[in-house]
Amino acid sequence: MSSGRPYRSSLFAGLLLILLGVIFFVDRMYPSFGIGHLIRVYWPVLLIVWGVTKLFDRLSSRGQGQAAPALLSGGEAVLLVLIAIVLGAFAFGDWAHQRFPDINIDLPSFHDDYSKSIPLPPETLQPGARVAIATGRGDVTVHAGDGDTILITAKKSGPGPSEDSALERMKDVDIEMEPQGNGVLIHPIHTDRAPAGVSVDIDVRVPKTSPVSIDAAHGDVSVSGISAPVEIRAGNGDVAVHDAGSDVTVQSGHGDVKVAGARGDLRLSGRGDDVDISNIGGNASIEGAFSGSIAANNVGQTFYCATQFSELTVSQLRGRLAMDSGDVSISDAGGDAKIVTRDKDVKAERVAGQLNIVDSHGDIAIHYDKPPRADLIVSNESADISLTLPSNSSFVLSALSRGGEVDSDFSGPALRPVSDENQQQLEGQFGSGGPKISLATTYGTIHIGKTH
3 within 8 A of 67, measured Cβ to Cβ = yes
Q: How many residues does the chain have?
A: 452
Rg over alpha carbons for the chain, rounded to the nearest Å, is 30
CA 157 to CA 139: how far, in whole Å?
11
Tens place of pLDDT for every residue, the chain, 452 residues? 444 445 445 566 677 777 777 777 766 655 555 566 667 677 777 778 777 777 776 777 666 665 656 666 666 677 777 777 877 777 776 666 555 444 444 444 445 677 788 878 899 998 899 999 999 889 999 999 988 999 999 998 877 777 777 677 777 788 899 999 889 999 988 755 555 668 889 999 999 999 999 999 999 999 999 999 999 999 999 999 999 999 999 999 999 999 999 999 999 999 999 999 999 999 999 999 998 999 999 999 999 999 988 999 999 999 999 999 899 999 999 999 999 999 999 999 999 999 999 999 999 999 999 999 999 999 999 999 999 999 999 999 999 999 999 999 999 889 999 888 789 999 999 998 899 999 999 999 999 999 87
pLDDT tens per residue across span 379-422: 999 999 999 999 999 999 999 999 999 999 999 889 999 888 78
Phi, psi of 451 (to 5 degrees): -70, 130
CA 160 to CA 146: how far, in whole Å?
39
pLDDT at residue 163, rounded to an integer: 74
pLDDT at residue 191, rounded to an integer: 52
194 within 8 A of 213, measured Cβ to Cβ = no
pLDDT at residue 68, rounded to an integer: 58
336 within 8 A of 353, measured Cβ to Cβ = yes
CA 260 to CA 339: how far, in whole Å?
24
pLDDT at residue 146, rounded to an integer: 86
CA 261 to CA 21: how far, in whole Å?
46
pLDDT at residue 30, rounded to an integer: 56
pLDDT at residue 213, rounded to an integer: 97
pLDDT at residue 64, rounded to an integer: 63
pLDDT tens per residue across span 328-368: 999 999 999 999 999 999 999 999 999 999 999 999 999 99
Tell me which residue of 399, 412, 402 sits closest to 448, measured CA to CA. Answer: 399
CA 426 to CA 428: how far, in whole Å?
7
